[in-house]
Structure 1
Amino acid sequence: MNGLMNLTIKAKLILLVLVTLVGMSFITIYDSITEKQIMMDAKKERVETIITGISSQIHALQNQVKEGKLTMEAAQKEAKDIVSSFRYDGNNYVWINDFHPNMIMHPLKPSLDGSDLSEYKDKKGNLLFVNMAKTAEKSGQGYVEYFWTKPNQTVPVPKMSFVKEIPGWNWILGTGIYIDDVNEAFYATLISHFVILAFLIAISIGVAYWVFNAINRPLKEMSSIMQRVSNDGDLSQTISIRGNDEIGRISADFNHHIQFLANTIEEIQSVMANVARGNTDVSIHTEMKGVFDELKQDVNQSIGAKHQPDHRLFGYHPFISVKRRVRCPNH
């Protein structure tokens, strides 16, 4: 706190703007990340709901096999038909692979059916189907992120899949959803937020600069005038009053005290001039406080002591014996 008190007003205002900038940047980034997470959670919930629904249908077919209503081959064929024909959100699909991993059925890339996927990598080198098999084997279900090529495109983009084990059949049911739109929305939101933030920061800097000038200019004037009063004894100086804020009231008080001091000294000089001319039937009548009240009493007592030596008047009080001439407004 003491260090803060030693900072200039300009430094304090800069610090205020910087703290505001950091705080608003943190809030902006946090909000953008939160929005991204909400979008990701919605996509996760979407794919999990899809797989859960289809796995329930496959589970019903498995029960029919147990009940002898269907053969294993017929049930699995029907399950593949269900999975192969299922689409959602346009052209999104569901596939089946096993734990080796081998592709059991891929609706959009039939060329993959029956192929060994253990060496299948995305552009980042991730063994995506191996990771899916490990996830299903470890937890029964879960999410896997990787890169995959969209239909009719050649550039792989981020994708997230939800996989779920089908117990008894050595199957893994999976579906993925592209998340490149989430990243695009995240960066678009982040950029728009920072544009707004930059606008607000520009306004804050402008306001801070205006406040700094509103404070600094009268303070510089006040400091300059106080130095002239202190160094030169120039009591004709006054501070311009630009408002009714704290600085304006301080300026008004300063002007009042300077005028009071000038009037007091002017009256003392007048009395002393009369005494010097031999007229001792004078006294100071101005209402004074503190040391000036003592000065008034000393001067009046000295005037009353008609038979005292003259040095009683001019050498008694330090306010009479001054080293420089005090300039009053009228002199």
Structure 2
Amino acid sequence: MRRLTFQQQVWIPLCLALASLVVVSGFGLMQVRSTSLAERERSLRYAGDMAMSIVRRYAALADSGTITVAQAKREALSQLRALRFGEDGYVAVVNSEMFSIMNPAKPETEGKYLGDYRDADGNYVYRAMAAVAKAGHGGFVDYWTPRPGSSMPIKKRSYVEPYTAWDWAFVTGAYVDDIDAAFYRSLGMAIAFLVVIGAVLSTVVVFSNRRLVRALGGSPEYAKSVVRATAAGDLTLCIQVRPNDQDSLIFQIAEMQAYLRNAVVMIQRSAHAITLAMEEIASGNLDLSQRTEEQAAALEQTAASMDDLRVAVHRNSDDAQAAADHAQEAFVTATRGNEVISTVSETMHKIAKSSSQVGEILGIIEGIAFQTNILALNAAVEAARAHDHGKGFAVVASEVRALAQRSSASSRDIESLIQKSGEQVQGGSSLATDAGRCMSQILGTVQQVDDLMKHIAQASSEQSTRIDQMARALTQMDSVTQENAALVEQAAAAAQAVRDQARELLQSVSRFTVA
């Protein structure tokens, strides 16, 4: 089956719209005609009901004995003959034997047999009416008959209402040519309206199609083929654009294809570059991760060694502080010893001075002993001269001389001892002086040692503080290095993810074919 072109397809809505208008108009006209016929049939039914009510009233009078049945029929027919409705409507009465009982329009037919009467189409009209009456309920009968004073047959619709008690059938009729005329008149107006509307819509569709084709820049089939090729990844298709076309869909598709081609080329190049760069970054991140882990391990070992060194330096600082304390005690002891040596030296000088004074006293004692010895000699001489009278005095003089000699000998011994003691005291004083000088030197050395130990203790404390700071810094460096290692691993994972995405991007744009 041949497919419709776009130019043919754009006419389909117009044809459908016109067909819908035709159907709607026809349906409306049929509804109007049906409504008019229904109104006409209601008027016929109403006339039949009026005739039935008149007859029933007189039948009731006859049944009550007020009048006879014959009088009741005459009075009923008299009123039915005068009954009119509509423009030319009347009521006729026939029986089941198809005899005319009363017909105001054709009095000459009253009492005659009408079963053989045919209309212009050859239909037995009264036979049909009799059949409706025998059915026992009202019904309609259509036939063709001319109007009074005319020979042109016109369609007429009659309503038959039977009254079985008197074997009557009331026939009411009305011509329906005005309804058909109104229908055909409305049909002509509807056709004219449809023609005008069709012409206007056709004009609008023609101009709209031209504008649509101008806006499209070509047939939608061509645009669809171009879009299909672009969606399939073929960007090498040369799109045909009409001359001086700068705003149509085909032109915009061509522009889009050019932009897309440039974008795909740039994406492919960038994807290649990103893939290579991310591969290098991923490799570098892996190496950096390994080196960072090694550095973290080395830092951890360094931190452990620094912790041991910190403990050792703390111990050295404590030992240096203890040594400084001992040096301070030694300095205090040396100072006290220096003071004692100074006191000993002064005491030795005083002893030496006292020894010289004792020597002087011993000289005086030796002089006294010498003088006493001389006096004893003189006394002995005088005692010898005195003979017997001087014997006691001679004994005393002898004793005194012996005492003087012993005193002199003791003095000489004491002098010798004092001389030896003086020499020893002089040596002791020299030694005390030398000891004082040595103690002064020791005190200076101890003071230097104390100062040095203080400096060492202070330096050890400062070293301990700095080593603590270095240990904390190494701990922080170790923590930061561990975090850096984790970040490097994350960066490596991110680089690998970006590399995979770049590969996927490259693979996704590789379906596009560019020149």
Distance in 2 of aligned mates of 1:296 and 1:186: 78
Distance in 1 of aligned mates of 2:14 and 2:125: 48
Cα distance per residue 1:285-323 (max 9 Å; x no partner) = xxxx32343357889xxxxxxxxxxxxxxxxxxx9x97x
Distance in 2 of aligned mates of 1:207 and 1:232: 34
Where does residue 291 of structure 1 map in the other structure?
265
Per-residue deviation, 1:122: 0.3
The answer as to 2:140 corresponding to 1:166 is no
Where does residue 89 of structure 2 map in the other structure?
92
Aligned-partner SS, 1:151: coil
Cα distance per residue 1:181-239 (max 9 Å; x no partner) = 11111111111112111111112211221122112235446969x8xx9687999x873
Cα distance per residue 1:61-110 (max 9 Å; x no partner) = 11111111111111111111111111222332111111110111111211
Aligned-residue CA RMSD in angstroms?
A: 3.5
Per-residue deviation, 1:115: 0.9
Where does residue 63 of structure 1 map in the other structure?
60
Preserved CA contact (<8 Å) 2:103 2:110:
yes
Aligned-partner SS, 1:196: helix
Higher mean C-alpha displacement, 58-67 vs 194-203: 194-203
Opposite residue 291 of structure 1, the aligned amino acid is V
Per-residue deviation, 1:140: 2.3
CA separation of 1:104 and 1:49: change in aligned 2, threshold 3 A = same
Aligned-partner SS, 1:93: strand
Distance in 2 of aligned mates of 1:238 and 1:66: 101
Where does residue 255 of structure 2 map in the other structure?
255
Name the larger-Rg structure. Answer: 2
Per-residue deviation, 1:7: 3.5
Distance in 2 of aligned mates of 1:221 and 1:166: 79
Where does residue 201 of structure 1 map in the other structure?
198
Cα distance per residue 1:265-303 (max 9 Å; x no partner) = xxxxxxxxxxxxxxxxxxxxxxxx32343357889xxxx
Aligned-partner SS, 2:156: strand
The answer as to 2:78 corresponding to 1:78 is no
CA separation of 1:252 and 1:120: change in aligned 2, threshold 3 A = same
The answer as to 2:139 corresponding to 1:142 is yes
The answer as to 2:47 corresponding to 1:50 is yes
TM-score under structure 2 normalisation?
0.47
Per-residue deviation, 1:253: 5.5
1:173-212 correspondence runs (5 A): 173-212=170-209
The answer as to 2:211 corresponding to 1:214 is yes
Preserved CA contact (<8 Å) 1:126 1:146:
yes
Moved over 6 A (4+): 229-235, 296-299
CA separation of 1:109 and 1:221: change in aligned 2, threshold 3 A = closer
Cα distance per residue 1:11-43 (max 9 Å; x no partner) = 211222221122111111111000000000000
Aligned-partner SS, 2:50: helix
Relative contact order (alpha carbons < 8 A, sep ≥ 6): 1 or 2 greater? 2
Preserved CA contact (<8 Å) 1:239 1:255:
no
Aligned-partner SS, 1:290: helix
Distance in 2 of aligned mates of 1:233 and 1:26: 45
2:245 to 239, 244, 247: 239
User: Where do 5+ consecutive residues of structure 2 fail to align?
Assistant: 227-234, 274-511
Per-residue deviation, 1:159: 0.5
Preserved CA contact (<8 Å) 1:102 1:116:
yes
Distance in 2 of aligned mates of 1:147 and 1:251: 71
Opposite residue 54 of structure 1, the aligned amino acid is A
Aligned-partner SS, 2:9: helix
Preserved CA contact (<8 Å) 1:9 1:212:
no
Distance in 2 of aligned mates of 1:7 and 1:37: 41
User: Where do 5+ consecutive residues of structure 1 fail to align?
Assistant: 265-288, 300-318, 323-331
Identical-pair percentage: 20
Distance in 2 of aligned mates of 1:234 and 1:137: 83
Structure with bigger helix share is 2
TM-score under structure 1 normalisation?
0.71
